[in-house]
Copies of this chain bind each other. A is one copy, B any other.
Amino acid sequence: MERIESGIKGLDDLLNGGIPYGHTVAVIGPFGSGKTTMAMQFIYHGLINNEKCVYISLEEDRDSIIKTAKEFSWNFDDYIDKNLLLVKLDPEDAKSTMTRVENDLTQEISDFGAKRVVLDSATLLTMMFQEEHEKRKILFLMSNAVKKAGATSIFTGESKPENPMVSRDGLLEYVADGVILLNQIPLKEKYELRLVLQILKMRRTSHSRKMHPFYIGEKGIEVLADVDLL
């Protein structure tokens, strides 16, 4: 099976070599667990390998994205427009977002020739809509847009506060071919939080089901694939 490197150190080992080509992978977790960082790192790995990438954001605007990436020395501005397409969706205007996704975005992603796509975050996207069926629709539209373009993608999603192993809208995991959980678990009698990663689902490949510690350093996320939690 064809796979692509995630660019996240340690993760590809847990996936038997990488993310299956064409998969939509949901990266879920509570806020502050590193979902955006992982998504950017995935994009940056594509950029330095000369792949075309699309980064769709509802949380941060163009400038903010570039600044955030720069903190890890990922120079998104070097690639903008030629290899990197930054798309900002307005988290307020539900109607125009639906129209945009429905009419243009599929074509845009496809025309651009995207190999990697990020949607940050799918939760803010579904949160824009009141009705369950609209939430489902926008998510399927987005997913189909990416699949048609033949791209591999990461959709970030907030996890449910009362159960971090499930996404907030409870829909994202249906759209996704894989689900990776980034979580913060209390260590040392609950007085400190430790970042951990766990692959909950990945179609068409066997994978680790362990919880692995990871950290966010100067070069982004590194998963300690061989370190056991005590």
Q: Which residues of B contact A71 (CB under 8 A)?
A: 1, 204-205
Which of A43-51, A106-114, A209-217 forms part of the interface with chain B?
Answer: A209-217
**By the criterion CB–CB under 8 Å, are A31 and B173 in contact?**
yes
Give min CB distance, A7 to chain B, whole Å. Answer: 20
- Chain B residue with Cβ nearest A137: B92
Among B30, B32, B67, B191, the residue within 8 A (CB) of A202 is B32
Q: Point out the residues of chain B lying under 8 angstroms from A170, CB to CB.
A: 161
A31 touching B137 by the CB < 8 A rule? no
Is the beta-carbon distance between A124 and B174 smaller than 8 angstroms? yes
CA A36 – CA B177 in complex, angstroms?
12
* Chain A residues with a Cβ under 8 A of chain B: 1, 30-32, 36, 59, 67-68, 71, 91-92, 94, 123-124, 127-128, 130, 132-133, 136-137, 140, 158, 160-163, 165-166, 170, 173-174, 179, 184, 189-195, 198, 200-206, 209-211, 216-217, 228-229
15 A-B pairs with C-beta separation under 8 A = A31-B179, A32-B200, A32-B202, A68-B203, A71-B205, A94-B133, A124-B174, A127-B136, A128-B133, A158-B174, A160-B161, A161-B166, A191-B210, A191-B211, A191-B229
